[in-house]
Amino acid sequence: MLVKVAHRYIVDKQMFSLCDAEIPMTPLDVHRIMGLPVDGNDIAVDEKTKIREALFFKYKSQKPGENYITLKALEHGITTSQVPDDDFIRQFVLYTIGVILAPTTKDHVDSKYLAFVEKVSEIPKYNWGQFTLSNLLSCVQNFKIEKNANLQGNLALLQVSATFLLCINFPSALYMIVSVLHTSHCVEQFLS
Question: For 94-149, what is the HEC assignment?
Answer: HHHHHHHHCCCCCCEECHHHHHHCCCHHHHHHECHHHHHHHHHHHHHHHHHHCCCC
> Kindly report the CA angle at 154 between 84 and 15, in degrees rounded to 5?
140
pLDDT of the residue at 31? 93
User: Using an 8 Å Cβ cutoff, are 140 and 6 in contact?
Assistant: yes
State the pLDDT confidence band at 175, using cuts at 50, 70 and 90: low
Going by C-alpha positions, the residue among 178, 150, 176 that lies closest to residue 3 is 150
Q: How high is the mean pLDDT of the chain?
A: 84
Choice among 150-154, 159-163, 186-190 with the minimum mean pLDDT: 186-190
> How many domains does the chain contain in total?
2
**Structural domain of 179:** 2-35+137-191
β-partners of residue 126 are 41
Going by C-alpha positions, the residue among 91, 92, 95, 100 that lies closest to residue 152 is 100
Q: Is the pLDDT of residue 119 over 80?
A: yes
Are residues 27 and 59 located together in one domain of the fold?
no
Sign, Cα dihedral of 23, 25, 26, 30 = positive
User: Using an 8 Å Cβ cutoff, are 147 and 125 in contact?
Assistant: no
Residue 94 lies in a domain: yes
Sign, Cα dihedral of 151, 157, 160, 166 = negative
What's the predicted TM-score (pTM) here?
A: 0.82
Are residues 21 and 57 located together in one domain of the fold?
no
Residue 65 lies in a domain: yes
DSSP state of 23: E
User: Using an 8 Å Cβ cutoff, are 66 and 114 in contact?
Assistant: no
Residue 129 lies in a domain: no
The set of residues, in sequence order, having a beta carbon less than 8 Å from that of 88 and lying 6+ positions away, is 77, 78, 81
Last residue of a domain, one of 93, 124, 155: 124
pLDDT of the residue at 88? 96
Residue 130 lies in a domain: no
pLDDT of the residue at 22? 84
Residue 69 lies in a domain: yes
Q: Which element (helix H / strand E) includes 70?
A: strand 69-70
Residue 91 lies in a domain: yes
Q: Is the pLDDT of residue 173 over 80?
A: no
* Residue with more model confidence, 20 or 39: 39
Q: How many other C-beta atoms lie within 10 A of the C-beta of residue 84?
A: 10
